[in-house]
Amino acid sequence: MEKKYDVTALGELLIDFVQNGLSDQGNPLFEANPGGAPCNVLAMLTKAGKKTAFLGKVGNDMFGRMLKTRAGGEGIDMTGLFMDEEVHTTLAFVEKLPNGDRDFSFYRKPGADIMLTKDEVKASAALIEGARIFHFGTLSMTDDDVEKATKEAVKIAKKAGCVISFDPNLRPPLWSSEEKAKEKIRWGLSQCDVLKISDNEITFMTGEEDLDKGIQMIIDEYKIPLVFATYGPDGSKAYYKDIQAYEKGFLNPATIETTGAGDTFCASALYHVLKYGLDGFDEEKLHELLTFANAAASLVTTKKGALCVMPTLDEVQAYIKAAGR
């Protein structure tokens, strides 16, 4: 089948409510930012000139309609977005902690994103079959029906010869137990060709505080061809065949909050997979990828939200040049 899309992603599309100051009465004010990791990834790729499509579900409510309009306005093909008449759009309230980390409060019991069905995925099979890369995470596996939908999508993608990209995107409050989260992450690890995993997820899955040992355990067990480990402000590593590459992070004094930084990194990595092919990397190209991805992730932290504020290729390159890298 002709590959009409560069990347198709399945998963959550939601509203990230991010605090934006205080009212005159001292009450926190929250800004409704379009979000959801898989769609954030697509937004960055679309900004970089790639053709993308999204598969998921929102409520037919004010927030769902806003998300459809805003994501579509970024250039993402939203024909695979289903609107639920009964269940409202998923909401996430994001609190920035003193150490710079984030705490999430989700309104998702249920939320529309978990109502996506296997039959709806089958009806949208052309969006998956027509993609060079299929990307997903674990939040579309927290509940039985949407898990079946996700597994059907991966099955379709594999049959169509798509490169499979996976980001665990661990959000502990959304899981009934740690063991269930680990079980679904293990399944994702067993399916993917490209993995983006964060430092806390490495420790969560392996129990290893030594991140190099932990990531090696994952690579040895699952034989994933291309792995990216992200360490927040401390940079990132790539593991490919017998090559390991590391690039330090970009510390930006203008950082506001880190929502979407991992998704921006992931999109930047997939941009380079599209550029070079899964079998086309060497050490130099991995360093190029990591530098670009670290810079893009740093830039997105200077704005609130993620989906509608992704940097352009020119902005990332200028930022790298200004940093003397």
Q: What does the pLDDT look like over 80-125, one tens digit per residue? A: 999 999 999 999 998 777 666 667 889 999 999 999 999 999 999 9
User: For residue 322, what is the enclosing H or E element?
Assistant: helix 313-322
Give a yes or no: residue 94 inside a domain: no
DSSP labels for 120-138? HHHHTHHHHHTEEEEEEES
Residue 101: the pLDDT is 67
Global confidence as pTM:
0.96
Give a yes or no: residue 249 inside a domain: yes
> d(Cα 104, Cα 97) in Å, to the nearest integer?
10
Q: If you search the block for the tokens 């490169």, which residue do you land on?
A: 163
Encode pLDDT of 167-179 as tens digits: 999 999 999 999 9
According to DSSP, the residues that pair with 240 across neighbouring strands are 226, 243
260-276: average pLDDT: 97
Encode pLDDT of 216-258 as tens digits: 999 999 999 999 999 999 999 999 999 999 999 998 888 888 8
Give a yes or no: residue 316 inside a domain: yes
Residue 264: the pLDDT is 97
Helix ranges, 23-135 (H): 37-47, 62-73, 118-123, 125-129
Q: Provide the token pair at 134.
A: 């299929």
Q: Which of 292, 284, 303, 302 is nearest to 265 (CA)?
A: 292
Q: Provide the token pair at 180.
A: 């269930």
At 167, which CATH number? 3.40.1190.20
Q: Which phi-psi region, left, alpha or beta, contains residue 8 (left: φ > 0; alpha: ψ -120 to 50)?
A: beta
Mean of the per-residue pLDDT values of the chain = 95
Q: Provide the token pair at 41.
A: 């990834």
What residues contact residue 127 under an 8 Å CB cut-off, 6+ apart? Answer: 5, 8, 53, 55, 77, 79, 80
Q: Provide the token pair at 260.
A: 């979407």
265-294: average pLDDT: 98
Strand pairing class (91-96; 102-107): antiparallel
Cβ–Cβ < 8 Å for 13, 137? no
Give a yes or no: residue 96 inside a domain: no
Give a yes or no: residue 23 inside a domain: no
Encode pLDDT of 17-53 as tens digits: 988 889 999 998 999 999 999 999 999 999 999 999 9
Residue 100: the pLDDT is 60
Residue 305: the pLDDT is 82
Give a yes or no: residue 29 inside a domain: no
101 vs 176, 215, 233, 257, CA distance in Å? 22, 22, 11, 8
Residue 262: the pLDDT is 96
Strand pairing class (91-96; 28-35): unpaired
Cβ–Cβ < 8 Å for 198, 262? yes
57-79: average pLDDT: 98
Give a yes or no: residue 93 inside a domain: no
Q: Is the pLDDT assigned to residue 183 strictly greater than 80?
A: yes
> d(Cα 209, Cα 212) in Å, to the nearest integer?
9
Residue 18: the pLDDT is 84
264-278: average pLDDT: 98
Give a yes or no: residue 100 inside a domain: no
Encode pLDDT of 287-305 as tens digits: 999 999 999 999 999 998 8
> d(Cα 61, Cα 84) in Å, to the nearest integer?
9
Q: Which band of pLDDT confidence, cut at 50, 70 and 90, is reported for residue 8?
A: very high
Total count of domains within the chain? 1
Domain range holding 167?
Answer: 5-12+37-60+72-85+114-322
